[in-house]
Amino acid sequence: MIVLDNDSRVPLYLQIYEQLKEEIISGQILEGSKLYSTRTLATTLNVSRNTVESAYLQLSSEGYVTSKAGSGFIVEKLDSMLITKLKRDNSVNIEKYKKTTLPKMNSDNNYKYNFKYGKLNASDFPLRLWRRISNKCLASIDADVMTSYTSSKGEKELRIEIMNYLNKSRGVSCTSEQIIITSGFEQCLSLLCQMFRNNFSKVALEDPGYIGARKIFNNNGYDVVPISLDKDGINITELENSSTKIVYVTPSHQFPTGSVMPIQKRLQLLDWARRENGIIIEDDYDSELRYNSRPIPSIQGIDSKGCVIYIGTFSKSFSPSLRLNYMVLPQSLLEIYDNFFSSYQTSVSIVEQKIIQQFMHLGHWDSHLRKISLLNKRRHDMLIHSIHKFMGDNVIIHGKNAGLHILLELNNGLSEEEIIKKAKEYGVIVSPVSTYWLRKDKYSNNMVFLGFGGMTESEIAEGVNLLSKAWFSK
C-alpha cells in the first residue's frame, strides 16, 4: 500500500518510486507482476498521471521493471539471495591489503563545428559569481591559514559539504573522514595504485573503457585485464573467470558506450566483490547529467560490506581546469590510507578548497547543477533530433539521455579513419573511439564520438547537417 505525504519536501513521484522499489526488493511485488496502469494508480492516489509515469520510468531506468508495449510495466527478476548476502553482518577481509598521459584527442579550435568530447560551454560557467565568492574568501583568509599545512585528506568543511551532497544526490553513505580531496582523477587512481601495489598485480577494466584509467594502472605496474561489456554493463561471468580482485567500472554512464548498469547487475557485482574479497572502484564521472530520469543511485550506496571505492569529480559539470576530484574510501581502508599517506599534504590549494566549499554551502552548487542539466538537455535533444532528421536510419546512436557525449555508429561502410577525414573536409571535428578498445579486434571500426557540451544548439544542428553531407552525399 502506497502512502503519500503531501507535506513532505520529497516529491510525490519519488515517494511512489521509493515505496514500489521497497516492495519489489522485499518480494511483496513478485517477479513478472504487472504494475497498476499509470491511469489507475494516479486515480487511486489522487495525483497526476505524469507523477506516476515519472516514478515508473525511474524504476525502469534502474532495472527494477521493464516496459513492454501493450502490457505496461513488468517487474524484473531480482536475486533475493544476492540481496540477503549484502546485508550488513560482516566486513570484507581487508588484511591482505594492508601495508607489509592521456593521448590527446583530435581537436582544432579554428573549426566552428567541434564535437570534441569533454569541452564545456564557457557561457555556462558562473564567472561573475565565482569571482565574487573568490574575493570574499581571499578577504577572510588570515595569515595563519596561508602559512600552515592542511590535512592530507583536504579541508574538513569542504569534505562535509561533499558528504552532504553525495548523500542527498547519489545515495552515498559515508562520513567526512572517508572523503579524500585530490587534484584530478589521475591522483585519485594513482593513490589507490600505491595502496594496493604490494598485494595485487592486475586489475580488471571494462573493454571498451576509459583509456585514462588504463594508462594510470599500466604506469603503476599493473597488468590490465580487459572485460567485455554486455548491453547493461560489464560481463560478470568474464570478471569471475579473470582471477582479478580489483575492478574499475563506470556503472552510471559507461564510458564510452553510455550504457547504464541496472540494479540486478550491481547486486551481482557486489556479490562478486564479497565472495572474492574484492574491491570495486566506481567512477561516477558525470552522473549529475541525466536528461529523462533521475541520476542512477551509486553502487556505493547499496554496498554494506565496504567493497566500493567511490570517485567523483567537479570536472564534467563545473570546471575541468580546477582539477578537483574526491574519493570515498570504505572505513576498512582508512587505516591503510593513513599508513601510506598521513605524512602527505593535500595537493589542492587551500584557497580553491575554501572557494568551492562556500560555493556549495551557499546553495550555488545545486542551482548550477539544475541550470547546466537543463542547458545540456537542450543541446542533447537538439543533437538527437538533428541526427534523426538528417541521417535517419543510416546511423545508430549509443549512450543517449545522459552525459556530454554520444557514440555514433555509421552503416555506410566507412572506416573510423575515413569517417573522421570526411567530416574534417566539411569543416567538422569528430573524435575517434578506437583508442578505448584494448582488444582492437572487438571493435567494429565504424564509430565516432560526438561531444556536445561545448557547442550551441544552432552549431549542433548545422554541424550535424554538414556531417550528413560529408558521410552520405553521393
Q: Are 399 and 380 in contact (CB under 8 A)?
A: no
In-domain check, residue 411: yes
Q: How many CB atoms lie within 10 A of CB 413?
A: 7
Q: Are residues 218 and 236 in the same domain?
A: yes
Q: Are residues 149 and 256 in the same domain?
A: yes
In-domain check, residue 6: no
Domain residues for the domain of 302 are 95-100+127-365
Rounded CA separation 286/160 (Å) = 21
Q: Are residues 142 and 212 in the same domain?
A: yes
In-domain check, residue 318: yes
Q: Which three cell numbers stand for residue 189?
A: 587512481
* CATH number for the domain harbouring residue 231: 3.40.640.10
In-domain check, residue 254: yes
Give me the residues paired with residue 425 across strands.
none
* CATH number for the domain harbouring residue 62: 1.10.10.10
pTM, two decimal places: 0.82
Question: C-alpha 444: how far from its chain's center?
Answer: 25
The pLDDT tens digits along the chain (474 residues) read 788 988 888 889 999 999 999 888 888 888 889 999 999 999 999 999 999 999 998 998 888 999 887 788 999 888 766 766 655 444 445 454 444 444 444 445 678 899 988 788 899 999 999 999 999 998 888 888 787 777 789 999 999 999 999 999 899 999 999 999 999 999 999 999 999 998 999 999 999 999 999 999 999 999 999 999 999 999 999 999 999 999 999 999 999 998 889 999 999 999 999 999 999 999 999 888 888 777 778 999 999 899 999 999 998 888 888 899 999 999 999 999 999 998 888 889 899 999 999 999 999 999 999 999 999 999 999 999 999 999 999 999 998 888 899 999 999 999 999 999 999 999 999 999 999 999 999 999 999 999 999 999 999 999 999 999 999 987
Rounded CA separation 357/185 (Å) = 19
Closest CA to 396 of 446, 434, 334: 446
Q: Which of 350, 365, 380 is the last residue of a domain?
A: 365
Q: Are residues 387 and 352 in the same domain?
A: no
Q: Which of 365, 396, 420 is the last residue of a domain?
A: 365
In-domain check, residue 153: yes
Plot region of 102 (φ>0 → left; ψ -120 to 50 → alpha; else → beta):
beta
Q: Are 249 and 266 in contact (CB under 8 A)?
A: no
Domains identified in the chain, total number = 3
Residues in the chain: 474
* CATH number for the domain harbouring residue 463: 3.90.1150.10
Plot region of 378 (φ>0 → left; ψ -120 to 50 → alpha; else → beta):
alpha
Rounded CA separation 76/64 (Å) = 5
Q: Are residues 242 and 134 in the same domain?
A: yes
Q: Are residues 359 and 377 in the same domain?
A: no
Q: Which three cell numbers stand for residue 428?
A: 567538422
In-domain check, residue 7: no
Helix axes 38-45, 49-61, angle to 10 degrees: 120
Q: Are residues 383 and 334 in the same domain?
A: no
**Cα separations in angstroms, 447 against 139, 319, 430, 465:** 51, 28, 10, 18
Q: Write 161-164 long-range contacts (CB < 8 A, 24+).
A: 161/357, 161/360, 161/361, 161/365, 162/312, 162/326, 162/360
Question: C-alpha 88: how far from its chain's center?
Answer: 25
Q: Write 171-178 long-range contacts (CB < 8 A, 24+).
A: 171/297, 171/298, 171/300, 171/301, 171/302, 172/298, 172/300, 172/301, 172/310, 172/328, 173/300, 173/301, 174/300, 174/310, 174/328, 177/153, 177/334, 178/328, 178/329, 178/330, 178/331, 178/334
Q: Say what the pLDDT of residue 84 is.
A: 66
Q: Which of 365, 390, 414 is the last residue of a domain?
A: 365
Q: Are residues 255 and 227 in the same domain?
A: yes
Q: Are residues 232 and 132 in the same domain?
A: yes
Q: Where are the beta strands (DSSP E) in 314-388?
A: 325-328
Question: C-alpha 126: how far from its chain's center?
Answer: 23
Q: Are residues 349 and 371 in the same domain?
A: no
Q: Are residues 390 and 354 in the same domain?
A: no
For residue 164, the surrounding DSSP H or E stretch is helix 156-169
Contacts of 271 (CB under 8 A, 6+ apart): 82, 85, 86
In-domain check, residue 446: yes
Q: Are 165 and 356 in contact (CB under 8 A)?
A: no
In-domain check, residue 298: yes
Q: Are 344 and 356 in contact (CB under 8 A)?
A: no
Q: Are residues 341 and 411 in the same domain?
A: no
